[in-house]
Amino acid sequence: MRSTTCLLILGLISMVFACSNDDDNGPGEPQIEEGLFYDGPNANAPFLPAGEYEAAVRFPSDQTSQYSGRQLRSVHLYFYNLPTGVQVKIYSGDDTSAPDSLLYSGNITRNELPAFAWSAHLLTPPLTIHGAELW
């Protein structure tokens, strides 16, 4: 039986830098002091058949430059069906079609992921944001 593995580059459905106040968080959404969000309020998440997937979110430098000198401390994820495991990868780059340099890679196991709820992956160590494009 094929196991479900999700390979994520800075997130699947919603990515949050734990580093703009977001007082509009709905029930079950992460309460982030400051963050850079890819989406709005979530109603659900993708329903994917078993397999390996890679998803990417690109934050251009005009969005990250306001956080220059601050630290990226966590990535928040939301899943409908729980994968067997997740690999969070953070890249930098200035090419709009693909990331460039791997800055961080970390694994999340299935027992660390709640279904139908937000999950936070803490970066160890946190990454310093330099205002460059992040994936």
Query: What pTM does this model have?
Result: 0.70
| pLDDT of 40 | 65
The answer to whether the CB of 115 falls within 8 A of the CB of 82 is yes
Measured CA distances, 118 to 35, 56, 76 (Å): 15, 18, 7
DSSP element (H, E) containing 84: none
* Average pLDDT for runs of 10 along the chain of length 135: 34 37 45 64 70 84 90 85 86 84 91 82 92 90
Both tokens of 74, joined, read 């966590």
Both tokens of 106, joined, read 């970390």
Secondary structure (3-state) at 111:
helix
| pLDDT of 90 | 94
Give the whole-angstrom CA distance, residue 61 versus residue 22.
21
| pLDDT of 11 | 35
3-state helix, strand, coil in the chain (%, to 5): 5, 35, 55
Secondary structure (3-state) at 130:
coil
Secondary structure (3-state) at 65:
helix
The answer to whether the CB of 33 falls within 8 A of the CB of 17 is no
DSSP element (H, E) containing 8: strand 5-9
